[in-house]
Amino acid sequence: MDICVCIPARDEAQRLPVLLAALAQQSVPGTIPVAIALNNTTDDSRAVIIEARSAYSGRLDIRVSDVTFPPALAHAGSARRLAMDAGLAVLGSAATGVLVSTDADTRPPTQWLEAIGRAFARGADLVGGRIVIDRSEPVPDTVTALCRTWDAYWQAVRAIEDDLDPVPWNPPPRHGDHTGASLAIRASLYRQCGGVPLRRTGEDRALVAAAVACGGRLAHPVDVFTHVSPRREGRADGGMAAAMQEMHELADKGTAPCAPSYEHWRERAIWRRRLRSQPDGQARIAREEPLLPAMPCDMVLEEKR
């Protein structure tokens, strides 16, 4: 499997050394191509990358694009598209090429790329990685408890889906994350679905939706995950940092969160199963589900200790 790790980065001189060190320590053999898209950067990120290129010579093949987007395009969609398109150029016409997206503030474990490769070998076309809060940085106990509560909720939702609408290429146990922090996609599918949409926020989920609508098989293996900084001031609107800020605010209020009840998820799983049995059903789900009315948040979640 030919891969290229694709990283959008803006003013990430403090974070990039951690990520690049983690990539150099991956368990896969050989040289790992890395495409970094510096965008609207004013700090020492380029100097940090040059230093890493020397330190990991022969292990990381680091390519850098340095662009200043105009205000209308200075957003996550443009930055990630630049990184992924640069990775596509690195892979060229490789028949088994895979683009692996991550963010500058992540710290993937040693087996990350190896686990991604196993998922593709099992037949996936896209592989989402689970987001794990990096415990090397402080997180309040109240926020940790809230994260556990949400984790338990989503585990219950996935159990419902696996019971009512199992998918062979995404078997349990599985998680449900597929964000730009850990998202791998076959290069051929990336080309087919049109690449990263130029959206200010949510560009990663929009890419996944477009790829699945083209027939891509999305998998969420539990052994594919990455550590992500719990920082609350990020670089992208609506990104992980914004989610952490919301989590802190909710934890500070001491208010239990609400979410759609499990019955709504049972109905949705049955709807998907019915559609999936029809011709082109998998792609139709991706196209039609966003058009359904939003589920009401009518269930209070109990704290998990």
Domains in the chain: ranges and CATH: 3-138+165-243 (3.90.550.10)
pLDDT for residue 187: 96
Of 43, 44, 41, nearest in space to 65 by CA: 41
pLDDT for residue 238: 59
pLDDT for residue 233: 67
Assign 179 to helix, strand or coil.
coil
pLDDT for residue 148: 86
- Checking if the pLDDT of 232 tops 90, the result is no
Confidence grade of residue 146 (pLDDT, cut at 50, 70, 90): confident
Q: Cα separation of 220 and 28, whole Å?
A: 20
Is the pTM higher than 0.85? The answer reads yes
Question: φ and ψ at 158, to 5 degrees?
Answer: -65, -35
Question: φ and ψ at 113, to 5 degrees?
Answer: -65, -35
Which is higher by pLDDT, 161 or 94? 161
pLDDT for residue 144: 81
pLDDT for residue 236: 62
pLDDT for residue 234: 60
Torsion angle, alpha carbons of 202, 242, 22, 55, to 10 = 90
Assign 272 to helix, strand or coil.
helix
- Checking if the pLDDT of 279 tops 90, the result is no
Rounded alpha-carbon distances, angstroms, from residue 278 to 124, 167, 193, 273:
21, 14, 22, 9
Q: How far apart are the first and last CA of the chain?
A: 41
Percent of the chain with pLDDT over 90: 76
Of 80, 39, 63, nearest in space to 198 by CA: 80
- Checking if the pLDDT of 88 tops 90, the result is yes
Bridge partners (DSSP) listed for residue 65: 37
Q: Write the pLDDT tens digit of every residue in 32-72.
A: 999 999 999 999 999 999 999 999 999 999 999 999 999 99
Q: What does the pLDDT average to over 248-256?
A: 74
pLDDT for residue 241: 63
